[in-house]
Amino acid sequence: MPNHILITGGTGTVGRVVARCLLDSGARVRILSRGRRSPGADGPAGPTGKAEYVVGDVKTGAGLAEAIADVDTVVHCVDPAHRVVDAALRADRPHLVYISIVGVDRIPLGYYRRKLADEQLISASGLPWTVLRASQFHDLVAVMLRGLAAPPVMVVPAGFSFQPIDVRDVGVQLAALALAGPAGRVPDMAGPEVLPMTDLARHYLAAVGKHRPVVPVALPGPSPAATEPAPTWPPIAPWEPYRSTSTWRNNLPRAPCPTAMRSGPTSSSRASSGPSDKVGRRFVRLPSQPGSTRVKP
């Protein structure tokens, strides 16, 4: 079992989950972030103590040499990868675990091409490596829908489907891969449901208490309706991926309770009503019992 693990982006959406799981497993965790933390700041802790925070920037390379020094594994949760690879090659060549996106080799978007280039750089670097591709997180899809739901009519792209996944499932899998040996490209991860964009939009509106007509509009270019099957965003690899069991509807934000909506936004009603549409960008909830995300080496 690796003794000392660095998480780049360890304060981000998936990095926080990875840190929690690794700390619960007993690993020593170092978290790289761009922002400074005061020495007494609260952070995640496990049986071996709190995580160690270091300041660095994966874009400029500042602080990476110090951050990677004496670690056994690096879980890289942010972009880009070339500075991290260079620093790892100059250090003790730790195992590099990288989170990527399903479909980066088939979707002609600039960001996806950069992710694919990072995958190729890592696999050809000579470092021990593991790459996990996952579909979009539930909360990322919700952020997108939140923007689309702002106008009085919710316009969504016609003919597209998503297979979103719970970030907690991805974090647990990344932690397990970090505690294991290098595995190369591992099977993709995706959520349990392939849902049309229109269904995702209607579920979201119902969850946050908004009433909007949902209007699918065809995007420029070839019609998705002519494709068999209808395109899933992102397309899943030919093999059967690891399937999460946490559904889209189970991860939706909750609408404010009717009483709070009638009486106005008091502090007590906000606290009791749970996350609303205004905090849809951050509705991922870590399990209430720390042991529920525990991973075994």
Q: Within the chain, where are the H helices?
A: 13-25, 64-68, 82-90, 110-123, 138-148, 167-179, 197-208, 258-263, 267-273
Domains and CATH numbers, the chain: 4-136+165-191 (3.40.50.720)
Residue 230, CA atoms < 13 Å, CB-side half-sphere: 12
- Look at residue 66 and tell me whether its pLDDT is greater than 70: yes
What is the rounded average pLDDT of the residues 50-72?
94
What is the rounded average pLDDT of the residues 187-200?
91
pLDDT band at 84 (very low <50, low <70, confident <90, very high): very high
- Backbone Cα Rg of the chain: 20
What is the rounded average pLDDT of the residues 285-297?
36
Total residue length of the chain = 297
Nearest C-alpha neighbor of 130 from the set 174, 70, 72, 81: 174
Tokens of 98: 């990288």
> What distance in Å separates the CA atoms of residue 116 and residue 121, rounded to the nearest whole number?
9
More reliable by pLDDT, 5 or 252: 5
Instruction: State the CB neighbour count (10 A cutoff) for residue 249.
Output: 15
- Look at residue 254 and tell me whether its pLDDT is greater than 70: no
The pLDDT value recorded for residue 240 is 41
Mean pLDDT score of the chain, rounded to an integer?
Answer: 78
Q: Of the ranges 18-22, 48-52, 112-116, which one carries the lowest mean pLDDT score?
A: 48-52
Q: Of the ranges 4-13, 30-39, 70-79, 80-89, which one carries the lowest mean pLDDT score?
A: 30-39
The pLDDT value recorded for residue 42 is 53
pLDDT of 126-157, one tens digit each? 999 999 999 999 988 999 999 999 999 999 99
- Look at residue 102 and tell me whether its pLDDT is greater than 80: yes
The pLDDT value recorded for residue 287 is 33
